[in-house]
């Protein structure tokens, strides 16, 4: 896949397919807290394979857990 800016990639048909596949795999539930019936995000554990992500590079998380990940795991 040609290199796109990250924001452009997130609206690409390829990412939409990957996103839907991950959501279905996780049964539309957060893989951290198991919440359902809430908007889900797909978090990149790393960006090394952006555009060709294996499932191990991604995790389905609810908004609350996604905020926690970025606040507590990525703050300097």
In a domain, 30, yes or no: yes
Q: Domain limits at 25?
A: 6-73
pTM: 0.85
Query: Over the chain, what is the mean pLDDT?
Result: 91
Cα torsion 47, 17, 8, 59: sign: negative
In a domain, 48, yes or no: yes
In a domain, 46, yes or no: yes
Q: What percent of the chain has pLDDT over 70?
A: 92
Q: pLDDT value at position 73?
A: 79
Give the tens place of pLDDT for each residue, 9-43: 999 999 999 999 999 999 999 999 999 999 999 99
Q: How far apart are the first and last CA of the chain?
A: 32
Q: pLDDT value at position 72?
A: 86
In a domain, 59, yes or no: yes
In a domain, 1, yes or no: no
User: d(Cα 32, Cα 76) in Å, to the nearest integer?
Assistant: 23
Number of structural domains the chain divides into:
1
Cα torsion 23, 64, 55, 2: sign: positive
CATH number at residue 28: 3.40.1800
Asked if 57 and 45 count as a contact pair (C-beta separation under 8 A), the reply is yes
In a domain, 67, yes or no: yes
């Amino acid at each position: 896949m040609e290199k796109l800016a990250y924001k452009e990639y997130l609206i690409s048909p390829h990412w939409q397919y990957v996103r839907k596949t991950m959501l279905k795999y996780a049964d539309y539930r957060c893989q951290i807290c198991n919440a359902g019936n809430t908007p889900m995000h797909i978090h990149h554990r790393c960006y090394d394979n952006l555009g060709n992500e294996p499932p191990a590079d991604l995790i389905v998380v609810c908004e609350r857990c996604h905020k926690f990940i970025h606040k507590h795991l990525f703050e300097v």
